[in-house]
């Protein structure tokens, strides 16, 4: 039996879904598992035998909030580490890339895996990628569950399974980090709020970086958005826009989460 702490960030619930399942399966294998969203952690304690990290891939990076959180991990001596990333399509070397600084602090990655869950973002300017429709998510659930079981067994038995740091993964990661970042910066012009806002304050209360303030029948965005897509996707009135184009919510459908709960999802 091992004591396992898993630290994670989830913008729209996919990573949270995976981490909750991972906990269930690891506990079935007699491990003691504690999970912590980085949004709620005051102090990082390494009172465990194995540490896990999980986050959504953002163009071959971890979301900024999580990479800054990783910077706060304390120095260790040979602490076994596993990492799980969730994606909409595919991941390259992102886990290898993000765990480099942890290796320098004495963490020993033995399992790094990607799970394709669902895409939660589109950029209407250049590339109107669809968020993954529910019909496809339902078909994927079995595969996702099987992957989580496989990952749990490997963590339980300390079996090495590092993926994404081969040549293909590295090339994909490098290209995404350069071209993807540039593309994102040029194509994302910030969020605005349309007049369907009813000042319910859900987005204000749930933004992980406290980037949103409430106005009168509107909300105002600050400068610390990490593009987690939570407010844009889960606003119950679909009032948050990327341009006037996204007011057409039939075409620019919002991602309401893997279990379709939208703003009923709890984050804080
Ligand atoms: C800014 C941003 C960048 C993303 N980049 C990628 C990517 O490079 N590859 C990919 O497969 N999915 C990408 N996605 C999709 C997310 O990784 C995917 O939907 C993830 O499961 C979301 O997890 P969460 O619900 O825990 O936030 C991106 C999403 C966002 C918001
Ligand atoms: S969640 Fe939507 S309706 Fe509620 S305050 Fe935010 S923008 Fe307005
Ligand atoms: S403003 Fe919206 S997308 Fe940006 S960090 Fe806050 S909740 Fe996430």
Tokens of 229: 């897509």
> What is the residue with the minimal CA distance to atom 4 of ligand 2?
200
CATH number assigned to the domain comprising residue 201: 3.30.70.20
End-of-domain residue from the set 147, 164, 183: 183
Tokens of 183: 């593309």
Ligand nearest to the CA of 214: 2
Is the beta carbon of 228 within 6 A of some atom in ligand 3? yes
**252 and 163 within one domain:** no
Tokens of 68: 């800054």
d(CA 265, CA 150): 27
Is the beta carbon of 207 within 6 A of some atom in ligand 2? no
End-of-domain residue from the set 137, 162, 183: 183
**147 and 199 within one domain:** no
Is the beta carbon of 202 within 6 A of some atom in ligand 2? yes
CATH number assigned to the domain comprising residue 72: 3.40.50.360
Is the beta carbon of 220 within 6 A of some atom in ligand 2? no
**216 and 116 within one domain:** no
**106 and 27 within one domain:** yes
> Kindly report the CA angle at 267 between 70 and 197, in degrees rounded to 5?
120
Ligand nearest to the CA of 230: 3
CA dist 254 → 35, 65, 133, 144, 258 (Å): 28, 23, 9, 22, 12
Consecutive H or E run containing 82: strand 79-87
Residue 157 makes CB contacts below 8 A (sequence gap 6+) with none
d(CA 237, CA 133): 19
Per-residue pLDDT 10s for the chain (268 aa) are: 899 999 999 999 999 999 999 999 999 999 999 999 999 998 898 999 999 999 999 999 999 999 999 999 999 999 999 999 999 998 999 999 999 999 999 999 999 999 999 999 987 766 667 899 999 999 999 999 999 999 999 999 999 999 998 999 899 899 888 887 777 667 778 999 999 999 999 999 999 999 999 999 999 999 999 999 999 999 999 999 998 889 999 989 999 999 999 999 988 7
Which ligand 1 atom lies nearest to the CA of residue 17? Answer: 26
Q: Which domain holds residue 234?
A: 190-264
d(CA 156, CA 27): 10
- Number of folded domains that form the chain: 2
Which ligand 3 atom lies nearest to the CA of residue 227? Answer: 3
- Name the one residue in this structure whose structure tokens are 């610390």: 224
d(CA 79, CA 81): 6
**122 and 210 within one domain:** no
């Amino acid at each position: 039996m091992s004591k396992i702490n898993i630290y994670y960030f989830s913008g729209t619930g996919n990573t949270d879904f995976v981490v909750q399942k991972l906990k269930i399966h690891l506990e079935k294998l007699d491990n003691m598992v504690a999970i912590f969203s980085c949004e709620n952690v005051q102090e990082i304690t390494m009172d465990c035998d194995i540490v896990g990290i999980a986050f959504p891939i953002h163009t071959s990076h971890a979301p900024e909030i999580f990479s800054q959180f990783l910077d706060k991990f304390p120095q260790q001596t040979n602490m076994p580490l596993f990492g799980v990333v969730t994606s909409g399509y595919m991941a390259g070397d992102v886990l290898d890339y993000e765990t480099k600084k942890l290796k320098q602090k004495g963490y020993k990655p033995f399992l790094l895996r990607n799970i394709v869950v669902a895409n939660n973002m589109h950029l209407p300017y250049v590339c109107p990628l669809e968020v993954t429709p529910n019909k496809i998510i339902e078909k994927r659930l079995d595969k996702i569950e099987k992957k989580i079981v496989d990952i749990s067994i490997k963590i339980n038995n300390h079996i090495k399974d590092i993926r994404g740091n081969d040549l293909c993964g590295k090339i994909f990661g490098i290209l995404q980090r350069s071209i993807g970042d540039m593309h994102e910066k040029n194509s994302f012009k910030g969020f605005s709020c349309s007049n369907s806002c009813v000042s319910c304050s859900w987005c204000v209360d749930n933004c992980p970086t406290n980037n949103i303030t409430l106005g009168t029948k509107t909300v105002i965005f600050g400068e610390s958005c990490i593009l987690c897509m939570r407010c844009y996707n889960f606003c119950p009135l679909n009032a948050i826009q990327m341009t006037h184009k996204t007011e057409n919510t039939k075409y620019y459908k919002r991602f309401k989460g893997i279990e379709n709960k939208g703003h009923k999802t709890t984050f804080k």
